[in-house]
């Protein structure tokens, strides 16, 4: 016999402006405070919740069918969820998918993450778009007891993401090797047994599928913590350097990341490739600036134009800060632009195999239009090595 339906809301979302949203809680109980954003992806909620770039954020899903396929051990982008919590329109139904191993509610509860269903996510998304990403407090109490004034004060007391170096909280504690490639039917994740290029990946909050894409492109990947120095990197004698995605304010992470990147650029000719926060780190190292966006880009349907070819790619994005294209110095070219708002989505250092993009070519979730960037990185390392032999 099923338990009777609750007669009162068991979850409450309070915004810093005093707006209150009631719903039904699932996942863990308790309270959390974070910045509120929305994601428009129709698939991949497990990958989104475990994307380290969502540290310090509550995710509102605009697609209502969240949780219907359950969860599984293969789709985590990092060991545990990083997003602070989840807001959805409809409560998850019983999962129905051949890969399911655990319901979304049980998965969240086991990992200490709060979620709320029954929220008017269209209204909430409009508020975020019009007013910018607000600070919010989310509480789940099975008895439905909430101190509304305390929740609003908690939201107002949240420091915000500006000035916060969150990469240090989500980076790896020590270096490790990675050889798992992209998922393939029917065996899952194969191993890269014949790598051609030795790559150092600096982990500012790296997603596993990025590392898999590097391995699939023929790379022998060694992951180093965000605090890695020039000497740490060069001790591995790499063929290329990769700068990963990650959360927080790029200017804060740049305090220690930018000097390392500048030293690599000044003292070596290594091909360098950055994604998301890695893109912003490279831009800062080259002399540009970054800015906080109103509500950021979060979704799997963002059109980006390649300025070299004119081609439009549909991409996956997750960022609340952006590179200010007006501050790019001479010798640094803008290569990609968002067709939603014209914001910068890619740069390249002229005359060098050094470039980065704001969007996520590894998808997970999202389209794979931009996967060629990993192959371009591998090709740049091959050509660089050939040039060294010839000279």
Q: Report pLDDT digits (tens) over 310-323.
A: 999 999 999 999 99
Q: Of the candidates 71, 72, 34, 79, which has an alpha carbon nearest to the alpha carbon of residue 55? A: 34
| Apex 195 CA angle, 189 and 201, nearest 5 | 80
Has residue 391 got a pLDDT over 80? no
The per-residue pLDDT for 390 is 72
Q: Does the pLDDT value for residue 3 go beyond 50?
A: no
Residues of CATH 3.50.30.20 domain(s) within the chain? 11-157
Instruction: Please compute the mean of the pLDDT values over residues 119-133 and round it to a whole number.
Output: 95
Higher confidence at residue 385 or residue 67? 67
Does residue 1 have a pLDDT over 60?
no
Q: How many CA atoms lie within 13 A of 97 on its CB side?
A: 14
What are the residue numbers of the active site?
Answer: 276, 360, 362
Residue that wins the pLDDT comparison between 369 and 391: 369
pLDDT tens, 79-109?
889 999 999 999 999 999 999 999 999 999 9
Instruction: Identify the pLDDT of residue 185.
Output: 87
**pLDDT exceeds cutoff 50 at 4:** no
For the domain made up of 167-390, give the CATH fold.
Rossmann fold (3.40.50)
Q: Which of 129, 180, 101 is nearest to 299 (CA)?
A: 129
User: Cα dist. 289→203, 256, 283, 326, 328 in Å?
Assistant: 21, 16, 7, 9, 8
Please answer whether residues 279 and 360 qualify as being in contact, where contact means their C-beta atoms are separated by less than 8 angstroms. Answer: no
User: Could you tell me the pLDDT band of residue 388, with boundaries at 50, 70 and 90?
Assistant: confident
Residues of the chain with CATH 3.40.50.880: 167-390
Q: How many CB atoms lie within 10 A of CB 61?
A: 25
Q: How much is the mean pLDDT over the chain?
A: 96
Q: 195, 288, 282: which is closest to 244 by C-alpha? A: 282
Question: pLDDT per residue over 224-267, tens digit each?
Answer: 999 999 999 999 999 999 999 999 999 999 999 999 999 999 99
How far is it, in rounded angstroms, from Cα 248 to Cα 145? 32
Residue 142 has pLDDT above 50, yes or no: yes
Query: What was the pLDDT predicted at 6?
Result: 56
CATH architecture of 11-157: 3-Layer(bba) Sandwich (3.50)
């Amino acid at each position: 016999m099923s338990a009777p339906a609750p007669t009162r809301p068991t979850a409450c979302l309070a915004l810093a402006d005093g707006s209150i949203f009631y719903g039904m809680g699932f996942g863990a109980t308790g309270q959390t405070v974070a910045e509120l954003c929305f994601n428009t992806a129709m698939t991949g909620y497990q990958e989104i919740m475990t994307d380290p770039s969502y540290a310090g954020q509550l995710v509102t899903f605009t697609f209502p069918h969240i949780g219907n396929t359950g969860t599984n051990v293969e789709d985590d982008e990092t060991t545990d969820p990083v997003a602070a919590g989840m807001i959805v329109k409809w409560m998850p139904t019983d999962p129905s998918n051949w890969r399911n191993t655990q319901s979304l509610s049980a998965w969240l509860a086991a990992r200490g993450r709060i979620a709320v269903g029954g929220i008017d996510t269209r209204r909430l998304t409009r508020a975020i778009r019009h007013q910018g990403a607000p600070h919010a407090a989310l509480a789940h109490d099975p008895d439905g007891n909430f101190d509304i004034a305390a929740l609003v004060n908690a939201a107002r007391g949240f420091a915000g993401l500006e000035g916060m170096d969150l990469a240090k909280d989500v980076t790896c504690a020590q270096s490790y090797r990675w050889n798992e490639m992209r998922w393939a039917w029917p065996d899952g994740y194969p191993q890269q047994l014949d790598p051609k290029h030795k790559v150092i990946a600096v982990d500012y909050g790296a997603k596993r599928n990025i590392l898999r894409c590097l391995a699939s492109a023929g790379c022998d990947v060694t992951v180093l913590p965000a605090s890695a120095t020039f000497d740490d990197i060069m001790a591995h004698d790499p063929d290329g350097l990769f700068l990963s995605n990650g959360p927080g304010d790029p200017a804060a992470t740049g305090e220690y990341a930018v000097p390392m990147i500048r030293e690599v650029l000044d003292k070596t000719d290594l091909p360098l490739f950055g994604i998301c926060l890695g893109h912003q780190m490279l831009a800062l190292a080259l002399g540009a600036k970054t800015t906080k966006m109103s509500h950021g880009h979060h979704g799997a349907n963002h059109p980006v134009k390649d300025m070299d070819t004119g081609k439009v790619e549909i991409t996956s994005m997750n960022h609340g800060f952006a590179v200010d294209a007006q501050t790019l110095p001479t010798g640094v070219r803008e290569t990609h632009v968002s067709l939603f708002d014209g914001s910068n989505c890619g740069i390249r250092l002229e005359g060098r195999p050094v470039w980065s993009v704001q969007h996520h070519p590894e998808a997970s979730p999202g389209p794979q239009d931009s996967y060629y960037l990993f192959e371009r990185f591998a090709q740049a390392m091959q050509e660089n090595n050939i040039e060294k032999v010839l000279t």
